[in-house]
Amino acid sequence: MFDGRFDFCPHRGILAPMKTTTLGATGLTVSAVGFGGIPITRLAEDAAAQLVRAAFDAGINFFDTAWGYPGSEERMGRGLKGLDRSRFVIATKDGSSDGAMFRKHVLESLERLGTDYVDIIQFHNLSDRPQLEAVMAPGGAYEAALKLRDEGCARHIGVTCHNSELAAELVASGKFETLQAQINFVGNEAEFLVAECARRNMGFIGMKPFAGGAIEDGELAIRYLQQFPTVVPIPGLEKPEELRQVVELFNAPLAPTEEQRQRMAKIREEVGKVFCRACGYCQPCPQEIAIAMVLRIKSIVRRMPLDLSLRLGSRYTDKVESCLDCHECVKRCPYHLEIPAMLRERRDWFNEWRKTVPEA
């Protein structure tokens, strides 16, 4: 999803034609930046469809979504309806390990998207070995994906992964045509995967370009990504102005300056390696704690007006008291974060900050 703040906007005129690249051995010609399909789930259907169409009109032709993003595929399908199908590329994904369930979900995705085929079908969040073994077993999802490709329902097979070590094995296996992994200057451990995918002519789709909100300087995030021309980032967009700014930045690629590199290093040091990427896999919480919002409370306080920070902060952190320490969230987290302890730390930080605010 789009988590950066863009203060840079070089012009307000007509957008230049979007730069394109080839997504590895798939041969698919895609825009230099894609459209991530999570944030449109929060929009009204008409507004979401309009934003998708505006992205296409601005030159973005690569759209990434998932069966598990509530309402995303339907909204994306509405936005792309009536367009020449050969002019855009759709990637969707499903997390089922069982072949029959995977097939069922992919066919449902086609119906939701209003298309006869998807360009890339991906295994969603394939980040641990037991899941990988289940997907690759006889009767598993990989076998189903091959059949769907043979039937023309999917043109290419890819995988998404939050575990860099396992992702390296997936790349080396030669069984996938694209890899979707997080890439940003805070969580930069996947840089070696970019080089390995390029060496094998495998497409690299960059998720979490703003590190789930840990990077608040949008221009800085994009300048880092533009060092890797084989990476196609998929920021999630929610507002027309965000779309315009992303397109403008990708149409004017620049290498980071030394001053920008120093700022990246400072932010990377401040954030550290243990942080929430806001991927949402930890949910649902049985106590209905909005985990990602609590873990992003420092960012909310920095970016939001005081009254809104106080209101949101209280709403989200007050729920932490009900945490059961069941650790279900920890089991689901692809990064194995000790979420209950982090929730309490953020709650305590917010309560201390609130004491310093006279209005509180």
Residues 69, 224, 316, 335: which is the catalytic one? 69
Whether residue 17 has pLDDT greater than 60: yes
Residue 335 catalytic? Answer: no
The conformation of residue 137, written as its DSSP 8-state character, comes to S
Whether residue 9 has pLDDT greater than 50: no
Q: Render pLDDT for 84-112 as a digit per residue (tens, 0 to 9).
A: 999 999 999 999 999 999 999 999 999 99
The conformation of residue 320, written as its DSSP 8-state character, comes to G
- State the number of CA atoms in the 13 A half-sphere of 246 facing the CB: 31
Residue carrying structure tokens 């840079």: 8
Whether residue 259 has pLDDT greater than 90: yes
Predicted TM-score (pTM) of the model is 0.82
Q: Render pLDDT for 203-219 as a digit per residue (tens, 0 to 9).
A: 999 998 888 777 878 88
Could you tell me which CATH number the domain at 20-266 has?
3.20.20.100
Whether residue 246 has pLDDT greater than 80: yes
Question: What does the domain layout of the chain look like in residue ranges?
Answer: 20-266, 291-355
| pLDDT band at residue 359 using 50, 70 and 90 as cut-offs | low
**DSSP string of 138-172?**
TTBHHHHHHHHHHTTSEEEEEEE-S-HHHHHHHHH
